[in-house]
């Protein structure tokens, strides 16, 4: 199945920002990617060659060593409005992957999503905007292999400007997109956009 889905107008559902709303504060907000981490700033200094894609296999765990992320994974579908669904809001350390799309490590763009916060505080991808080019994303799979990705860019997009084709479009190598809520924030409407980390497969353990 294609790793795109028609009608995905925005990336992640339920970007309310419950923790910020509850605490009435916008002084403590998630990191925002710097311009230096965008594609427009040029390639990463870590120009690792792409590894050959793996056969499909469901992911079971994801790690981002540089930001101390270590999370189990669940299968995600689409919400009623056609956006990518998210893990249950009550679980702060749980990420998900789009189960009808590409599995991490296989050819194409695998889609991973998780909350930036919930009512209790920062959640699994709160620090996603702090990632830098060359950082690693590791995904353990059901087949016993670990797919290792390098970060190519980290960008933030307003909801109305989310680049569906860039994020969900087909690729000729094994890539990953890690998505969470971000951008501006308002108490009335929650987060106004999404942070996306782009990476490609560089190795397998």
Distance of CA 21 to the CA centre of its chain: 23
The residue written with tokens 């190795």 in the block is: 203
3-state SS assignment for residue 128: helix
Q: Does domain 18-204 have CATH number 2.40.260.10?
A: yes
Tell if the pTM clears 0.85, that is, is over it: yes
Which pair of structure tokens corresponds to residue 87?
Answer: 């893990």
Domain boundaries, the chain: 18-204
Q: Let me know: does 92 contact 123? Beta carbons within 8 Å.
A: yes
**Mean pLDDT, residues 97-119:** 94
- Measured distance CA(6)–CA(171) in Å, rounded: 17
pLDDT at residue 157 in the model: 93
Between the CA of residue 190 and those of 40, 65, 74, 75, what are the distances in Å?
A: 28, 29, 24, 25
Tens of pLDDT, residue by residue over 84-103, are 888 988 888 999 999 999 99
Tens of pLDDT, residue by residue over 170-181, are 999 999 999 998
Q: How many CA atoms, within 13 angstroms, populate the side-chain half-sphere of residue 18?
A: 14
């Amino acid at each position: 199945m294609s790793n795109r889905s028609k009608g995905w107008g925005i990336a992640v559902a339920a970007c309310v920002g419950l923790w910020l709303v509850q605490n009435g504060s916008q002084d403590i907000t998630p990191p925002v990617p710097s311009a230096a981490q965008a594609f427009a700033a040029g390639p990463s200094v870590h120009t690792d060659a792409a590894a050959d894609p793996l056969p499909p296999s469901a992911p079971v765990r994801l790690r981002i060593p540089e930001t101390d992320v270590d999370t189990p994974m669940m299968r995600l579908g689409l919400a009623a409005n056609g956006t990518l669904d998210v893990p249950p809001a009550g679980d702060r350390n749980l990420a998900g992957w789009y189960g009808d799309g590409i599995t991490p490590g296989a050819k194409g763009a695998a889609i991973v999503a998780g909350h930036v916060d919930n009512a209790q505080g920062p959640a699994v991808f709160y620090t996603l905007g702090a990632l830098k080019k060359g950082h690693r994303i590791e995904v353990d799979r059901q087949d016993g292999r670990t797919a290792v990705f390098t970060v190519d860019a980290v960008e933030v997009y307003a909801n109305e400007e989310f680049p569906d084709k860039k994020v969900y479009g087909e690729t000729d190598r094994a890539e990953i997109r890690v998505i969470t809520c971000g951008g501006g924030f308002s108490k009335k409407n929650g987060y106004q956009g999404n942070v996306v980390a782009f990476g490609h497969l560089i190795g397998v353990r």
